[in-house]
Structure 1
């Protein structure tokens, strides 16, 4: 095994392992909180779905990409590749869609004192399940093309545009289809990232105004404090999301518009960035969410006493 493959395997494996453990803990914590409180808040519903989509993304991308660097290639047929590529793409779109929804929901929550925004907040809370189902349907329908072209082996000498992921290939029938899919994916991701960036900028503006109003005063309002912490968490999510997935999407657009075949180095960077956010997500949530932090502390104390 070459040293570069060994180093990449270690980095990818650690990142994927941290993400898998972290998102599992988040899922367990939020489920336990909902069970104890006999209810679950809309923002927590979004966070639960984010944790699930991140787990699927890490299993379908982080895990096989990590194992491949150590010479483990467990996909045996084209059908295996197609299923993996499809669920990978569905979970990625779910991740960006849910992060966008979370940022917009938090933005509306902060400015819900205005009657119009209050009505919008109430509508979002009432229809949160329908919105989540809509994002899920969008993810599933728009990912169908991802299941059409993956194969376990291919002959790349015929000059057809293709991506070499190592453990399988994605071979497109012609350059038009290749560029069309790339443009659609780039445009969709750009819309989501623009929406979440605008919502986050407004959240920052609201927080800045509030800090100026509260300067020199001591606030004991725990609800407002929790909302501000949630707002800071969402802004952190969006900043990292736009950083990781923005670079990933830009590299994808470059590959589909200029390059005929995805160079292995660029593919490695893209896929590593794709599962960096799911791995960072639990740490950010634990840092800003007091309920989750307290629940994990209780878990740790309970197990230390056993």
Structure 2
């Protein structure tokens, strides 16, 4: 193994392990909160869903990428490649949709003074479930082309029509089922546009509130800050992270597809694609100390009763 493979293996193992641990903690905290009878906030379902799909993104990409970095190139067959890439792409699309829903719903929450917005907010938990199912349906359908054009690395291949994915290979999607590629691109652009628009609206709303009152004047998630303002700041940070990592990774993926860069460039692209799933749970944990205090209090009550 060369030095770049050893370094890549260590980085992918660390990123996958740390990210999976963070998302698992978020899942455990919200599940524990639910079963101990605490009232969940309107966005808690989306946060739980985001932690779950981020775990799938990390595991479906980090584990095979780590194995490939250790020098094992043909450890997956045709069906395994299809399933792993399909799960990864579906989870990646769901992460995008869920982050978009978080941004949009939080904008509605802080702008719920009108009667229409207040009524919408009261129905938000049911709408969250409905939108999650819709995101699943779209993601499963749009990414179904993965089951056609992804192939294992051991099959005979026409070099003019296929390109390597380190441990799998793929037909050129532009010549096979282009409608799915167009649909995926449109969905990504729509979600990114909604996130940018809602984030801008949220910043404008917070600025106007700041001009009217000093109540929400706070920095760095201080304890005196209003809970809704803290949540808004966290979601704005998550959206900014997602958009930044997504744009950089998309540029690198298109470059890899049309050119043949060095191996370190491919590894860097994979690392960037997993940065948001790995970092987002810790942003949410550090910004929401209330749920940690609720879980600790519930655990102490359980110990006393036992």
Q: TM-score, normalised by structure 1?
A: 0.86
- 1:202 aligned to 2:210? no
Tell me how far 1:139 sits from its aligned partner. Answer: 0.9
Structure 2 match to 1:228? 229
The secondary structure found in structure 2 opposite 1:128 is helix
State the Cα deviation string for residues 130-183 of structure 1 (Å, max 9, x = none).
Answer: 111111111111110112122222456531142x222211223x7433866554
- 1:19 aligned to 2:46? no
Structure 1 match to 2:142? 142
Tell me how far 1:16 sits from its aligned partner. Answer: 1.0
Rounded to whole Å, the distance in 1 between the matches of 2:226 and 2:253 is 40
Rounded to whole Å, the distance in 2 between the matches of 1:275 and 1:301 is 36
Cα distance 1:262–1:136, how it changes in 2: closer, same or farther (>3 A)? farther
RMSD: 3.0
Contact 1:182 1:252 in 2 (8 A): no
Contact 2:6 2:70 in 1 (8 A): yes
Equivalenced residue count is 296
Gaps in structure 2 of 5+ consecutive residues: 302-306
Rounded to whole Å, the distance in 1 between the matches of 2:227 and 2:285 is 13
Cα distance 1:188–1:149, how it changes in 2: closer, same or farther (>3 A)? same
Gaps in structure 1 of 5+ consecutive residues: none
Cα distance 1:241–1:301, how it changes in 2: closer, same or farther (>3 A)? farther
Structure 1 match to 2:277? 278
- 1:81 aligned to 2:81? yes
Structure 1 match to 2:243? 242
- 1:106 aligned to 2:93? no
Tell me how far 1:253 sits from its aligned partner. Answer: 4.2
Rounded to whole Å, the distance in 2 between the matches of 1:57 and 1:74 is 21
- 1:115 aligned to 2:78? no
